[in-house]
Amino acid sequence: MDIKLGQVVKGTGFRGLVKIGEPELVANDYSLNGADELCFLNISASSSNRSLLYRAISRVAENCFVPLTVGGGIRKAKDVKNLLAAGADKVVINSAGVLNLGLISECADKYGSQCVVASVDCKAVNGAWEVYTHGGTRSTGVDALECVHKSVQYGAGEVLLTSIDKDGACGGYDLVLLRTVSELVSTPVIASGGAGDLVHLALAIRDGGASAVLLASLLHYGKCTISQIKYFLGRCGVMVRDDYLRYGLYDE
């Protein structure tokens, strides 16, 4: 869930944002319907939006009982401390981590690698993948593979890997990128950017080597339910949490 000015929004290629709804309502719906984890990304770096995010996370944490991963606009260890205090279980470090790997190391030392997620947003440029920061607006010239490798070396416990080229296009994840990164590091890699069909999720795990899949459009626009996703993945041989079986959540 991308958050801007206190609202859940969705765009394509990080642009053309449309409002989806109130964070608490969207989060409650997904958690009740079987989401394994909720990911909130603050896509506005303003201090006012960070305050809105903290309040929203506090309200969500009071009512949801699934892990909350939160990020966006984190520049120092104190920001991580504030998000954890607000109710986050894991914190995503994006732009600041690319520019300052020491921040990842400091946060991993203080709060544990298990709660530090390195977020890498990248585009295909001249046959390679280049890291873009600040919501995908700034080219860094940094090679994405090098960035991922160093982030893990410095203590990141997970990698959230987003293909900006694929984001919101609903044409599937960048499987070549996913496979390359998942073979590069031993930490879990979360696929992000491009899910538009149930088969895309299975391919990201089976062919891309992802440990988990992050998705937005499929759920935001009501194309399927979480129970349908889990049922489909289970039929594809992917290990999933079986809440939909235990509680009869699967709907045809």
pLDDT in tens, 43-58: 876 555 677 788 889 9
Ramachandran angles phi, psi of 161, nearest 5° = -110, 115
Token couple for 84: 């954890």
Identify whether 139 is part of a domain: yes
Q: Which among 114, 51, 45, 106 has a CA at the least distance from the CA of 83?
A: 51
Q: Is residue 246 part of a domain?
A: no
State mean pLDDT over 25-52: 83
If one counts the domains in the chain, the total is 1
Looking at residue 44, its pLDDT comes to 74
Per the structure, the complete domain to which residue 111 belongs is given by: 2-240
Structure tokens at 46: 């303003």
Mean pLDDT, rounded, of the chain? 89
Closest by CA position to 97, among listed 124, 117, 122: 117
This model's pTM is above 0.85: yes
Annotation marks residue 143 as catalytic: no
In a domain, 51, yes or no: yes
Do 51 and 203 contact (CB within 8 A), yes or no? Answer: no
Evaluate whether residue 49 is within a structural domain: yes
Catalytic pick among 89, 109, 121, 243? 121
Interaxial angle between packed helices 77-86 and 47-63, expressed in degrees from 0 to 180 and rounded to the nearest 10: 30
Tell me if residue 251 is catalytic.
Answer: no
The length of the chain, given as a count of residues: 252
Contacts of 63 (CB under 8 A, 6+ apart): 24, 27, 28, 31
CA nearest neighbour of 33 among 240, 252, 229, 192: 229
Examine residue 154 and state whether it is found in any structural domain, yes or no: yes
Neighbours of 159 (CB within 10 A): 24
Tell me: pLDDT of 22 over 80.
Answer: yes
Place of tokens 């939006």: 49
What contacts 215, CB < 8 A, 6 or more positions away? 195, 201
Tokens of 111: 């709060």
249 falls within a domain: no
- Residue 136 maps to a domain: yes
The string of pLDDT tens digits covering residues 138-180 is: 899 999 999 999 999 999 999 999 999 998 888 999 999 999 9
Q: What is the CATH number of the domain that holds 148?
A: 3.20.20.70
Cα–chain center distance at 175? 16
SS3 of residue 52 by DSSP: helix
- Amino acid at site 198: L
Catalytic residue among 2, 79, 167, 174: 2
